[in-house]
Amino acid sequence: MMNIKNRPGTALTALLFALLISASSGCDSSENHSGQKENSPDQGEEKHAHNENEDAKQGKGHDKSEDGDHGEETVRLSEEELEEFGIQTSLAGPGKLNISITLPGEVSVNADKLAHVVPRVSGVVREVRANLGDHVKLGEVMAVLESRELSDAKAEYLAAIERLSLATANYSREERLWRKKVSSEQDYLNAKQELAEVRIALRSAEQKLHALGFTEKYLDRLPKHADITFTRYEITAPFKGTVIEKHVALGEAVQGDAVLFVVADLSTVWVDLSVYEKDLPFIKEGAKVAITAGHGIPDAEGVISYVGPIVGEQTR
């Protein structure tokens, strides 16, 4: 056993010698094989042709195998399987495609069913009956004021009724005297003018009380009930709803235009959707929408009632 590291020259010589021996042996074998072929050339050609045919057949078979692996497969399902998976089939044809768009929105109170309750007259709060979150009915008393302004309006109305009674009687008397030529025509005309002015004053007093929310039925009862407190003014609910705001306290002095309560009918609400400019062609009035609030709140359905003509900067 030689150490290749110590004698590199000897190792190279041995390697070259081994290569020469291998090459020489290959030549001898090739010559012998060639000699055999010369003894039977036809047999060699037939064998070579046979090998090519076999290779061609194997190649063709291989190609078919590869094509079969990548070909389309037909899936067939029975009637029971179609029914089990809920698969329905039909002939292809023209139809409508439903486009679904998800948009952000904000729920707000229905402005058509929202009321700011004001007293209409100035006064001092004597009773507060409604609280935040209460459900009120139409005409239910929410608060009571004591108002001098209301007292003056009622007194004016009652005084106009009394003046009308006197003016009517005076006109009737003057008319009779004038027709009998007992009284002058000027006295008759003065009585007629006074009657007209009293009627106008009464109509004005009635309109003031109507503006404060008093009905015709209440005005008819007012002269018959002298014990009615002229200063008492009841603030009532304009419709059935929920008190969502309260701005009044007992003993507080309020003005006629002060908002004491805000009542809303929450049976329906509005949803303000932010529509991007690219989605505007798909937004139409009357289209149905599904509202999803999340957080365990049940989903709801609605209809688009209005599409604003102005595009905001945030959704442009």
What is the rounded CA–CA span in Å between residue 48 and residue 70? Answer: 34
What is the rounded CA–CA span in Å between residue 35 and residue 29? Answer: 10
Give the pLDDT of residue 38: 42
Residue 14 has pLDDT above 80, yes or no: no
Closest CA to 162 of 205, 102, 210: 205
What is the rounded CA–CA span in Å between residue 192 and residue 187? Answer: 9
Identify the band that residue 141 occupies on the pLDDT scale cut at 50, 70 and 90: very high
Q: Do 303 and 287 touch, CB atoms closer than 8 A?
A: yes
Percent of the chain whose predicted confidence (pLDDT) is above 90: 48
Identify the band that residue 49 occupies on the pLDDT scale cut at 50, 70 and 90: very low
**Residue 260 CB partners (closer than 8 Å, separation 6+):** 117, 118, 119, 142, 143, 235, 246, 247, 248, 254
Q: Where are the domains of the chain?
A: 149-230
Give the pLDDT of residue 227: 61
What is the rounded average pLDDT of the residues 216-224? Answer: 87
Does the CA dihedral 187-189-192-196 come out positive or negative?
A: negative
What is the rounded CA–CA span in Å between residue 245 and residue 118? Answer: 12
Give the pLDDT of residue 314: 65
What is the rounded average pLDDT of the residues 124-130? Answer: 97
Q: Do 105 and 302 touch, CB atoms closer than 8 A?
A: no
What is the rounded average pLDDT of the residues 112-118? Answer: 96
Q: What is the pLDDT of residues 58-102, one digit of tens each?
A: 444 444 444 445 556 777 888 888 888 888 877 877 877 777 888
Q: Which helix (H) or strand (E) holds 168?
A: helix 148-179
What is the rounded CA–CA span in Å between residue 159 and residue 183? Answer: 28
Give the pLDDT of residue 73: 77
What is the rounded CA–CA span in Å between residue 119 and residue 142? Answer: 11
Q: What is the pLDDT of residues 240-265, one digit of tens each?
A: 999 999 999 999 999 999 999 999 99
Of 41-50, 59-68, 180-189, where does the model show the most confidence?
A: 180-189
